[in-house]
Amino acid sequence: MDIGKATCPGCGRPMSITRVHCSDCDLNLDGQFEVSELARLSLEEQVFLVAFLRHHGSIKRMEALFGISYPTVKNRLNALAAKLDRHYQVPRPEMDTLERLERGEISVDEALKRLASEEDV
């Protein structure tokens, strides 16, 4: 399993890592391993965050590096902060549905069905 893929492509929920392998010594570890919130970010989000850290939080440098405006940099940072903060909040199933809709993983009809079924719970 690719440790970088911490979200199930089928349902969008977090996946658990159950096996870790060392290719140098052929050691295998089996169990339940946690994946950090940073590892749950998309590759694009990770690249953006690493660039921000490497440039010591310079929004001006981020604008130049990514060719985006100041408000876009701030919006991306706010979105990343909110995504990382969710780890410390009570999960809300409807937010998962809306986020999957926003990412284009499900259709509007599918989102409406899921939201309706979540109300019944």
| Structure token pair of residue 113 | 């069905």
What is the share, in percent, of the chain residues with pLDDT greater than 90? 43
Give 114 or 61, the one with higher predicted confidence: 61
Asked if 28 and 50 sit in the same domain, the reply is: no
Asked if 75 and 43 sit in the same domain, the reply is: yes
Asked if 47 and 85 sit in the same domain, the reply is: yes
In tens, the pLDDT along 12-42 reads 777 778 888 999 999 999 988 777 788 888 8
Asked if 29 and 43 sit in the same domain, the reply is: no
In tens, the pLDDT along 45-57 reads 999 999 999 999 9
CA dist 58 and 35 (Å) reads: 28
Domain that holds residue 113: 90-121
| Structure token pair of residue 38 | 């940073």
- CA distances (Å), origin 66, targets 69, 76, 98, 103: 9, 12, 27, 21
CA angle 119, 120, 121 (to 5 degrees): 90
DSSP helix/strand/coil, 117:
helix
Total domains, the chain: 3
Contacts of 50 (CB under 8 A, 6+ apart): none
Asked if 85 and 42 sit in the same domain, the reply is: yes
Which CATH number covers residue 84?
1.10.10
Asked if 95 and 56 sit in the same domain, the reply is: no
Asked if 50 and 74 sit in the same domain, the reply is: yes
CA dist 47 and 51 (Å) reads: 6
pLDDT of res. 120: 54
Asked if 23 and 41 sit in the same domain, the reply is: no
